[in-house]
Amino acid sequence: MRARELGRKSVVVGDRVQLVGDVSGAPGALARIVRISERTSVLRRTADDDDTTPEGRLERVVVANADQLVIVSALSDPPPRTGFIDRCLVAAYDAGVEPLLCLTKADLAGPEQVLDYYAELDLPYVLVRPGSDLDELRGRLASRISVMVGHSGVGKSTLVNRLVPDALRAVGVVSAIGKGRHTSTSAVALRLPTVGKSKKDPGWIIDTPGIRSFGLAHVSAESLLHGFSDLVEGTLDDQPNCGHSPADADCRLDAWVAAGNADPRRLASYRRLLSSRAGELDSRNEEGSAA
């Protein structure tokens, strides 16, 4: 339990805390959290970009002190959603957390279309197939605290169970319309087991519930550009105070992209995020864009 003197300060998965009391874990034992250490990183998401919802623009801390965000996306069934991946990238860079793209169900489709979309970002990625070894993924998780996010149905819980056999995370199925059922209901931190005779710290993973939207209302319009480093050069010679939105008629990004300097799909996605953040577009519909 949390000590009363902490007031309304929240405690989230990943927090490092100090305890007093009985920490034996025996039945009836009681300990209190009396201090929360300063966080090295905070990964946030807004409940929704649409402030007409009951929750409005409620900001939620997903996890504290993570240093890597593993974005889990299926290559098929359901198809990859680059809009969702873009949102996760923006949130990761805004939080100072390194992203890793984990593409599952690689036995059903190739990764070329997704990788082509992110070709200019030098985004690290791993491919996962049913039954394939997870050595490359384990290597990227080692000595790190990694938080895993993804839409329901992309195989995240299955992946967690393969990485941590004792986790027993609930596994769902994909419906006929390509949407997964939400099976994980709460975030949980799991210590990765040591494999073989390796003496390297295997790291931690934090599994999160499958989410339909990753709102970015808490991220400033300027910071949104962090997830689109391939467009930054095109903004340098733009007019002062240009918002780079469709409403900015004199924005020079259009001509710069049209000249072949960047993928037009990336500019379109960036502007969708700008519109969504401004409440002009429903983030849940925007994220439906497949690669």
Neighbour tally for 129: CB within 10 Å: 13
Is the confidence at residue 269, as pLDDT, over 80? Answer: yes
pLDDT band at 163 (very low <50, low <70, confident <90, very high): very high
Please spell the DSSP secondary structure of the chain, one letter per residue: -B-GGGTT----TT--EEEEE--S--TT--EEEEEEPPPS-EEEEES-S-TTSTTTT-EEEEEES--EEEEEEESSSSPPBHHHHHHHHHHHHHHT-EEEEEEE-TTTS-SHHHHHHTGGGT--EEE--TT---HHHHHHHTTSEEEEE--TTSSHHHHHHHHSTT-------B-TTS-BPP---S-EEEEPPP-TT--S---EEEE----S--B-TTS-TTGGGGG-HHHHHHHHTSPTT---STT-TT-SHHHHIIIIIS-HHHHHHHHHHHHHHTTSS-HHHHTT-B-
Q: Which range has the worst mean pLDDT, 48-52, 97-101, 226-230, 275-279?
A: 48-52
Is the confidence at residue 241, as pLDDT, over 60? Answer: yes
CA-nearest of 42, 46, 74, 80 to 60 is 46
Mean pLDDT of 151-160: 89
Kindly report whether the peptide bond that precedes residue 246 is cis, defined as omega within 30 degrees of 0: no
Domain ranges in the chain?
A: 4-36, 42-207, 223-286
pLDDT band at 144 (very low <50, low <70, confident <90, very high): very high
The pLDDT tens digits of the residues spanning 33-92 come to: 999 999 999 998 886 544 554 444 566 788 999 999 999 999 999 999 999 999 999 999
CATH of region 42-207: 3.40.50.300
CA angle 92–159–209, rounded 5-degree value: 55
Q: Characterize the bridge pairing of strands 59-64 and 42-46.
A: antiparallel
pTM of the model: 0.85
So what's the pLDDT on residue 75? Answer: 97
Name residue, tokens 């864009």: 289
- CA distance readout (Å), 25 to 4, 30, 53, 167: 21, 8, 41, 19
Is the confidence at residue 3, as pLDDT, over 90? Answer: no
Is residue 222 within 8 Å of 258, Cβ to Cβ? no
Q: Which range has the worst mean pLDDT, 75-84, 169-178, 186-195, 196-205?
A: 169-178
For the ranges 17-31, 97-111, 242-256, 268-282, the maximum mean pLDDT occurs at 97-111
